[in-house]
Structure 1
């Protein structure tokens, strides 16, 4: 039977393709968010690619519709066999036919449902991939003013809406329309006059439904906005749970979520009222039509001596036709809720993306010599962050950057990682302009560790292995040992299979930093970027992390941003960055002797350190350096 339906599906698919072709090329002046334009695009982008499968489903629906119409006709025949012909054999034949019809209808319904489900799952999976691909292709600036929950809501809601609308359209055109056509044929064949009476209920119902469509669209958008705000509040509650507890913000967050939940509840209740506002009218019109049919049909049988079978067959067909007719009448109304999600899907898919990167040249790293030549950059026009910055980061030495927040230090790393492109000047690695090499080859040469460590959901092993895809178990363990992480990892019952929790919540700050350093170590990159990974750690954790960083930087070109100045006292070259410019360069002792910006900055940082029990500043190496220079 499956081969039969495939043969039937071929002409249906060709017909559908021709119809889709005629829908192509919408008028230039048409509103791109209008229902007709959105449905046209939906059919062209998603329906065309699954035309053959939809043809198979349509064939199943046609068979099911024929079985429904045959059932209505068969009941009339059964009545005539009993009350007119009084033939038992006739009744037996009708009974056998009924079994066959319902078996075939069951098979057709199963085939239709499974086929549509497969198409739907394929479309949803494809949309999720397309939407995610579109997001990861955006530039860093795209995400700066948006909340992550917005993208979660759009992917979840938009990905499934396309298949939902397509399934509704196919079901309406296939199951409902074909069933209605078949039943109307039975009605007209059995009772032409009664058929005209029954069809009089349609125009008033259509007029009422047209007025409700715009209202449904507005309410559905309100629902989506409220859902997105709930997701945002929930995500922030989970990620900022410690802050919420520390500042007694439970009631604030609760009120915020409750407010959004109440708004969605009100919108949902309003949507239910609007969507079902037509029901009393349609039911009343249907009741009037049935009453008229019963009166006219009863008069025909009782007075005009018509056979009861035709009347019963007509009544059966009329009652069976009522539900599909009502669904078709409400189709546009029901589609509006789904089309909101389709519009959200298209908004994301239509996002402008940076031009595809055509750079294919591979960065060939030898010693790892990094140079900035008169580099200028601004995130916003007219507000420069870097102003003609030049420096050399020599191979196998530590080059440090210090300065007040907002001076441009992190921007140096963003540019070196290729997250942004400089608007002036060049960045060279071993004499190669990074603007001319592929971003992949550039980032393979760099390992980055920041003060805000991000660990992915999964195990410790998986997080370390992300430093270099394909790293062996021995390499992962070796990196963990070098990062002074192996001992605490083995202290967990699950060892390297320990789950880190969301953003590493199951680990302490020092443990997360050492996992991040192990991830950088397993990468085995010649260039290391350190954005002060010890800034938020206590003294004990910092000592472990400092030892891990010493292993990480051995024999590699290292660039480090420092907030605790004593951590870069032994750097080979220190650059003081202020207002997008390098204002001082030298070694630690040299800069202290100059007594300029670095010395002032160092003195301020030193005065911020906590005092000991006797009221003096702690006599660490940094303080000793300052006293030696001052003396």
Structure 2
């Protein structure tokens, strides 16, 4: 059975479908302003056509009628026409730019809001530079496509129609001859479109790779410097840039292949018009005004005709970027809005994992029917080797990922049946890799509770042992922290993170190796702040340094996604099991600090 031929509308991201979507979904909201711009374009097109017609009048008044008064009159009319064209062109340019800016801003908002509705798993499969490329190039491409369409119809097509009318009025035969240029030009352009689409997609991918290398090199500049990777990263971005440059050169060659044909065909048409027009003036007594008017209209029509001939190439190039944007916006959110679900209502903040299983990849389980209870107001510690599933426990509790089997309950309410926002509002999280936004110290603490007062921020900083070092900065709480908090030490970043969590005042506290990367002095200060944070709250803590959780109410030893031991510190040591082995191993490798030299 033969397969039915594909229609032009079958591909949801084909040129026809995309153009229809952009017009109906994006441009339709601004149809009144587009109509005004279109009207101004019509005035400018009429003025362009009128100027060609008026030139013939002036020529005839000067060389045929020799009427000085007529020359003055038509010259003034020409001035008015050109002034009108200038005003109309200015007006439509401003209107189109304002519409472009509005659509660009709207698409940037849509893209960002869509990304905020995606899960952690969605981002783990892609590089962040891809989204930057889609956000910038994609949003710009949408406005470029719409501007190409409105300019092609309102400016170029109307101008061409008006100038063709002038040509037909002056000499129908020469006008018909001039229009014979169009079919061969359209045939050549059609052949180039498919090639241009492929090159445009390669260009987009190449630019994304440049962004990726640039972003990784700058964000990992410490590693780059420490391992002398400057030349390696420079070679990598040189290769990316060279590939993009080569592709851009191909694009330039392909997209401009129509120009030689258009110029040659235009040259033939102009030469023929000159010969035929000159013959009519000399041999048949036609007025020179008709000849000059026709020739002017023909030459003025050449540029809009050339732009219309290239329209398909430029549209398909722009539609590649539009597709990159819409593919993300159209995809179903991996973390769909669940604000319609009931809010989490806490009484004790008792957390229960009931036979919870989870895997990031098929056939590679991370948690295997894990069950445990974190009692309200107490500290539950998760310890064990890396890769055992400890951090996954916190991720599932925050619903950064969804449980695949089993159930997580808080005060008897399944976390899957309540809204994510209400769940996360009841939790405070501090991780090993603290993320601080490029803002002030005050703003980063205040993110824990939007609208917090100055007194609340300061109180949280004091409780987190951060107030003293903050006030040691010349700008105090107004001190910028730099990108990712690069202007602060590791211990300072951690204490600001604890202050942020304290300000949140949530009944459930999640700590993911919050002191693992700190020196002993910083660890002591951060641990003191964490003790204040955990006091009276249901706390689940992941610990690498076991001495930091010796006082925990319950210690769970996690291996291969299962809890192999559970109890308090002293009980687990007496059992001489896995926990005792971990603890003794750390004690054996711990090197006590040498006492300071009193004479130093």
Shorter-chain TM band: over 0.9
Corresponding residue number in structure 2 for 1:596: 577
Within a 5 Å distance, the mapping from 1:254-293 to structure 2 comes to 254-293=234-273
Aligned residue number for residue 628 of structure 1: none
Cα distance, 1:495 vs. partner? 1.5
Number of corresponding residues: 589
Tell me, yes or no, if structure 1 residue 302 matches structure 2 residue 282. Answer: yes
Task: Give yes or no for the alignment of 1:323 onto 2:303.
Answer: yes
Aligned residue runs from structure 1 range 209-358, under 5 A: 209-354=189-334, 355-357=336-338
For 1:81, the equivalent position in structure 2 comes to: 61
Q: Tell me what 2:140 maps to.
A: 160
Cα offsets for 1:366-413 (capped at 9, x unmatched):
232222222222223333222222222222221111011111111111
1:407-441: per-residue Cα shift (whole Å, max 9, x none)?
11111111111222323332222222222221111
Residue 451 of structure 2 is matched in structure 1 by 470
After superposition, where does 1:287-436 map in structure 2 within 5 Å?
Answer: 287-354=267-334, 355-357=336-338, 359-436=340-417
Specify the SS of the correspondent of 2:460.
helix
Counterpart of 2:469 in structure 1 is 488
Q: Which moved more, 1:252-261 or 1:29-38?
A: 29-38
**Contact 2:339-2:420 at 8 Å conserved across structures:** no
Quote the offset at 1:562 in angstroms. Answer: 0.6
RMSD: 1.6
Q: What is the deviation of 1:350?
A: 1.9
Q: Which structure 2 residues correspond to residues 76-225 of structure 1 after superposition, within 5 A?
A: 76-225=56-205
SS in 2 for 1:330: helix
**Structure 1's 28 and 579: CA in aligned 2 closer, same or farther, altered over 3 A?**
farther
Residues 232-253 of structure 1, C-alpha deviation per residue, up to 9 Å, x if partnerless?
1111111111111111111110
Q: Does 1:46 align with 2:26?
A: yes
1:359–1:436 contact (8 Å) kept in structure 2: no
State the TM-score, normalized to the length of structure 2: 0.95
1:480-503 Cα shifts (integer Å, max 9, x gaps):
111111111122222111111111
Helix, strand or coil: the match of 2:302?
helix
Aligned counterpart in structure 1 of residue 482 of structure 2, from 501, 508, 518: 501
| 8 Å CA contact retained: 1:134, 1:351 | no
Task: Report what 1:71 is aligned to.
Answer: 51
Q: 1:597 to 1:28 in 2, by over 3 A?
A: farther
Using the TM superposition, give the Cα deviation of residue 61 of structure 1 relative to its aligned residue in structure 2, in angstroms: 0.5
**Mapped pair 1:538 → 2:557:** no
CA deviations over 1:6-57 (Å, ceiling 9, x no partner)? xxxxxxxxxxxxxxxxxxxx96972233222222222222222222221111
What whole-Å deviation, never above 9, does each CA across 1:535-565 have from its counterpart, x for those lacking one?
0011111111111112211221111111000
Q: Tell me the TM-score normalised to structure 1 length.
A: 0.91
Unaligned runs of 5+ in 2: 1-5, 596-600
Tell me, in whole angstroms, the C-alpha distance in 1 between the residues paired with 2:104 and 2:267: 41
Counterparts of 2:549 and 2:247 in 1: how far apart (Å)? 58
How far off its partner does 1:275 sit? 1.5
Greater shift, 70-79 or 488-497, is seen at: 488-497
Q: Is the 8 A contact 2:8 2:16 kept in 1?
A: no
SS at 1:585 equivalent: strand
- Corresponding residue of 2:598: none
Q: Which residue number corresponds to residue 3 of structure 2? A: none
Partner residue, 1:23? none
